[in-house]
């Protein structure tokens, strides 16, 4: 495309360009299938060699309102949207009226001429549907067809994408799309740049697949945005897999059932968001005391309370680190894109089991419901804990050097396996004895230390951008991609701790070496990561916070970073 990011780095003075960069807005009402339409557009780009990213924006309602998808294609990996649209596919008037800031002179606007008034290429969607006797929901196939034509994407590409993605009513959809295709003309050609396709996954799907890869046996969940789709995805997938998916009466039941699975030797995970997580905290503390492995996928959204259910936030970091009464080891990882989501979900499950601790995959709406070109990276093999012990002598909480006790599951012939949320002795029997309480607390502390060491070993802090720059952007979770892009373009260092607890202090310190100015980018009002690292003596110089539920576009963030650095 013609226009690229042209930012002059205030640090290096270098002007950076991102090549082969295209942005497309698809907008319509809830119920118009905007999410699927956006995904099809993403797949068109995927099939001509682009890495893609899609941000999907929708209010909390079922029909009506305004939904839009921002699809981005690029020659290199992407995970952020831009503040411009090269193409707009408008199925409602809001897609034009609410997005003036994205429109450039060269923007191609394709619009449903029956519903939308705009300058650009009109597509008579309803007429076409009527002529072909096609249902209203096929309207987006029509406009996609028009888009393909105007972007110079070959019909064959569209046809093959449709064949794969729209098996239901394929022929009719193709007819509709063809009519859209014919109604338009080439405006800006998106050049094919390769033939390799990548799977396009939402963060939610990447998490689900990562858990499956890690050996997930059971998934228990009560629906809650933005993680419900993990439940839906795994429920769909369960048919082919040795996987039980259960949707119980509420989150309390969810968590305790999952602990039941874990006790019986099945690797279990749950998903939720803040309000549901609150209801799990009592069980979370039980998992800590009883040393039961469990993984919680916790998708942040704008809070507090019900907040803004379908919008993003990064405001639960401290809650995750401290949730549950009493002190016990836990793991908190915050992947930043689909690739990390896969790797760290798999790892979180393995680590939860190896260290017999509860683990949290801390995601956010931007990650969960964003779609990414996915490149699979095999997670490192961390091995398993030793579980050998003479059954007759079995003690669930036997003391060991690393604090990890051999874990057996019933039926284990001859062994009596007692787990207990009270303070207990090695055998799992309740105790009130001062020495035993202290010794068992030390055991759990030792486990913390073992986990901490493992986390430092795993390379839990990512450094990107200009590695020797003395100004660094610090971020976590879904801010990874936009910050990476901005760091690259401004010649800054990028630092992202993927593991947030136990905090990888040494690795983080190394990542900081030579940094004189640290700028935190976070979707919160208080700067949660800054509060966390200040506890380890790491100051943050600038906070670039956003808390209106929307993620930053590349341009918005460039501007804000330039502002604080000016």
Ligand X SMILES: Cc1ncc(C[n+]2csc(CCOP(=O)(O)OP(=O)(O)O)c2C)c(N)n1
C-alpha–C-alpha distance, residues 138 and 158, integer Å: 15
Binding segment for another protein among 121-129, 201-209, 312-320, 541-549 (CB under 8 A)? Answer: 201-209
- Look at residue 237 and give the partner it binds from ligand X, another protein, ligand SF4, none, a contact being a CB closer than 5 to 8 Å depending on partner kind: another protein
DSSP 342-391: HHHHHHHHHHHHHHT-EEEEEEEHHHHH-EEE----PPP----------G
- Look at residue 537 and give the partner it binds from a second copy, ligand X, another protein, none, a contact being a CB closer than 5 to 8 Å depending on partner kind: a second copy
- Residue 145 or 210 having the CB closest to another protein: 210
Burial 403-417 (b: 16+ CB within 10 A, else e): bbbbbbeeeeeebeb
- Look at residue 223 and give the partner it binds from a second copy, ligand SF4, ligand X, none, a contact being a CB closer than 5 to 8 Å depending on partner kind: ligand X
C-alpha–C-alpha distance, residues 455 and 506, integer Å: 10
User: Does residue number 203 form part of the binding site for a second copy (CB under 8 A)?
Assistant: no
The end-to-end CA distance of the chain, in Å, is: 30
- Residue 105 or 390 having the CB closest to another protein: 390
Binding a second copy (rule: CB under 8 A), the pick from 7, 34, 289, 486 is 289
User: Does residue number 259 form part of the binding site for a second copy (CB under 8 A)?
Assistant: no
Would you call the peptide bond into 226 cis, given omega within 30 degrees of 0 as the criterion? yes
- Site residues for a second copy, 502-561, by CB under 8 A, read 524-526, 531, 534-537, 547-550
- Look at residue 205 and give the partner it binds from ligand SF4, a second copy, ligand X, none, a contact being a CB closer than 5 to 8 Å depending on partner kind: none
417: its two tokens: 């396996």
Residue 396 DSSP class: T
User: Does residue number 370 form part of the binding site for ligand X (CB under 6 A)?
Assistant: no
Binding segment for a second copy among 268-276, 331-339, 395-403, 405-413 (CB under 8 A)? Answer: 268-276
Sign of the C-alpha dihedral computed for residues 316, 319, 323 and 329 taken in this order: positive
Binding segment for another protein among 110-118, 278-286, 315-323, 441-449 (CB under 8 A)? Answer: 278-286
User: Does residue number 239 form part of the binding site for ligand SF4 (CB under 6 A)?
Assistant: no
Q: Is 156:181 a contact under the CB 8 Å cutoff?
A: no
- Residue 194 or 514 having the CB closest to another protein: 194
The three-state secondary structure class of 206 is: helix
Q: At what angle do helices 505-512 and 434-457 cross, to 10 degrees?
A: 30
**At closest approach, how far in Å is the CB of 226 from ligand X?**
10
User: Does residue number 387 form part of the binding site for another protein (CB under 8 A)?
Assistant: no
448: its two tokens: 């913390």
Non-local CB neighbours of 252 within 8 Å, separated by 6+ positions? 279, 280, 282, 283
Binding segment for ligand X among 219-227, 255-263, 352-360, 487-495 (CB under 6 A)? Answer: 219-227
User: Does residue number 509 form part of the binding site for another protein (CB under 8 A)?
Assistant: no
Please choose, from the candidates 360, 387, 349, 357, the residue with its C-alpha nearest in 3D space to the C-alpha of residue 291.
357
- Look at residue 154 and give the partner it binds from a second copy, ligand X, ligand SF4, none, a contact being a CB closer than 5 to 8 Å depending on partner kind: none
- Look at residue 104 and give the partner it binds from ligand SF4, ligand X, a second copy, none, a contact being a CB closer than 5 to 8 Å depending on partner kind: none
DSSP 546-565: --SS-PPPHHHHHHHHHHHH
DSSP 162-190: HHHH--TTHHHHHHHHHHHHHH---SS--
- Residue 153 or 511 having the CB closest to another protein: 153
C-alpha–C-alpha distance, residues 357 and 454, integer Å: 13
- Residue 157 or 235 having the CB closest to another protein: 235
Quickly tell me which residue has 């579980």 as its tokens. 387
- Site residues for ligand X, 238-297, by CB under 6 A, read 251, 275-276, 279
How many amino acids of this chain bind a second copy (CB under 8 A)? 65
C-alpha–C-alpha distance, residues 18 and 75, integer Å: 8
The three-state secondary structure class of 45 is: helix
- Look at residue 313 and give the partner it binds from ligand X, a second copy, another protein, none, a contact being a CB closer than 5 to 8 Å depending on partner kind: a second copy
Binding ligand X (rule: CB under 6 A), the pick from 22, 88, 177, 224 is 224
For residue 164, the Cα-to-chain-centroid distance in whole angstroms is: 25
Q: Half-sphere exposure of residue 3, counting CA atoms within 13 Å on the CB side?
A: 15
- Residue 270 or 482 having the CB closest to ligand X: 270
Element (H, E) at 125: helix 125-132
Binding ligand X (rule: CB under 6 A), the pick from 181, 222, 355, 538 is 222
- The Cα-based distances of 499 to 79, 176, 351, 363 in angstroms read 20, 48, 12, 12
- Residue 422 or 526 having the CB closest to ligand SF4: 422
- Site residues for a second copy, 56-95, by CB under 8 A, read 59-60
Binding a second copy (rule: CB under 8 A), the pick from 23, 95, 204, 273 is 273
User: Does residue number 429 form part of the binding site for another protein (CB under 8 A)?
Assistant: yes
Binding ligand X (rule: CB under 6 A), the pick from 192, 223, 248, 421 is 223
Map 52-68 to HEC letters.
Answer: EEEEEECCCCCCEEEEE
Binding ligand SF4 (rule: CB under 6 A), the pick from 39, 58, 62, 364 is 62
The three-state secondary structure class of 246 is: strand
**At closest approach, how far in Å is the CB of 295 from ligand SF4?**
31
- Residue 252 or 416 having the CB closest to ligand X: 252
**At closest approach, how far in Å is the CB of 423 from ligand X?**
13
**At closest approach, how far in Å is the CB of 229 from ligand SF4?**
17
- Residue 165 or 232 having the CB closest to ligand SF4: 232
Residues that bind ligand SF4 (CB under 6 A): 62-63
Instruction: Give the interface with ligand X as residue ranges (CB under 6 A).
Output: 222-224, 251, 275-276, 279, 306
């Amino acid at each position: 495309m013609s226009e690229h990011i042209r930012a002059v780095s205030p640090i290096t003075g270098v002007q950076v360009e991102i090549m082969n960069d295209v942005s497309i807005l698809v907008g319509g009402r809830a119920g118009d299938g905007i999410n699927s339409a956006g995904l099809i557009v993403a797949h068109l780009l995927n099939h001509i060699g682009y890495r893609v990213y899609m941000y999907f924006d929708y209010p909390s309602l079922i029909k009506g309102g305004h939904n839009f998808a921002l699809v981005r294609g690029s020659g290199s990996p992407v995970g952020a949207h831009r503040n411009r649209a090269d193409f707009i596919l408008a199925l409602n008037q809001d897609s034009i009226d609410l997005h003036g800031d994205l429109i450039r002179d060269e923007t191609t606007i394709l619009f449903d001429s029956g519903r939308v008034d705009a300058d650009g290429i009109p597509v008579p969607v309803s007429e076409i549907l009527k002529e072909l006797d096609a249902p209203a929901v096929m309207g987006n196939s029509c406009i996609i067809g028009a888009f393909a034509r105007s972007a110079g994407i070959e019909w064959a590409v569209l046809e093959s994408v449709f064949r794969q993605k729209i098996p239901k009513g394929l022929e009719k959809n193709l007819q509709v799309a063809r009519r859209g295709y014919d109604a338009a003309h080439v405006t800006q050609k998106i050049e094919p740049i390769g033939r390799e396709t990548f799977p396009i996954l939402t963060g939610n799907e990447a998490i689900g697949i990562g858990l499956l890869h890690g050996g997930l046996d059971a998934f228990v969940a009560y629906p809650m945005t933005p993680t419900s789709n993990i439940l839906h995805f795994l429920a769909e997938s369960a048919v082919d897999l040795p996987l039980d998916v259960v949707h119980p009466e509420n989150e309390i039941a969810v968590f305790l059932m999952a602990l039941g699975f874990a006790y019986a030797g099945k690797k279990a995970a749950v998903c939720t968001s803040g309000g549901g997580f609150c209801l799990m905290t009592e069980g979370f503390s039980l998992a800590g005391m009883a040393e039961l492995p469990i993984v919680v996928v916790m998708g942040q959204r704008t809070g507090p309370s019900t907040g803004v259910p379908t919008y993003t936030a990064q405001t639960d970091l401290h809650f995750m680190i401290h949730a549950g009464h009493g002190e016990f080891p836990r793991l908190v990882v915050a992947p930043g894109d689909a690739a990390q989501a896969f790797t760290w979900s798999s790892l979180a499950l393995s680590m939860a089991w190896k260290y017999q601790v509860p683990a949290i995959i801390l995601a956010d709406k931007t990650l969960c419901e964003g779609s990414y070109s996915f490149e699979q990276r095999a997670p490192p093999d961390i091995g398993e804990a030793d579980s050998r012990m003479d059954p007759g002598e079995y003690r669930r909480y036997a003391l060991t050097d690393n604090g990890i006790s051999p874990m057996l599951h019933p039926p284990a012939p001859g062994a009596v396996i007692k787990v207990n949320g009270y303070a207990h002795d090695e055998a799992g029997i309740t105790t009130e004895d001062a020495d035993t309480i202290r010794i068992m607390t030390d055991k759990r502390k030792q486990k913390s230390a073992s986990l901490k060491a493992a986390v430092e070993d795993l390379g839990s802090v990512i450094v990107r951008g200009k590695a020797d720059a003395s100004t660094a952007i610090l971020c976590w979770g879904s801010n990874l991609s936009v910050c990476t892009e901005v760091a690259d373009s401004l010649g800054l260092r990028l630092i992202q701790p993927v593991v947030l607890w136990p905090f990888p202090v040494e690795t983080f310190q190394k990542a900081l070496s030579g940094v004189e100015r640290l700028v935190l980018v976070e979707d919160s009002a208080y700067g949660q990561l800054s509060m966390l690292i200040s506890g380890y003596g790491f100051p943050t110089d600038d906070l670039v916070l956003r808390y209106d539920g929307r993620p930053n576009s590349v341009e918005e963030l460039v501007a804000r970073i330039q502002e604080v650095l000016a």
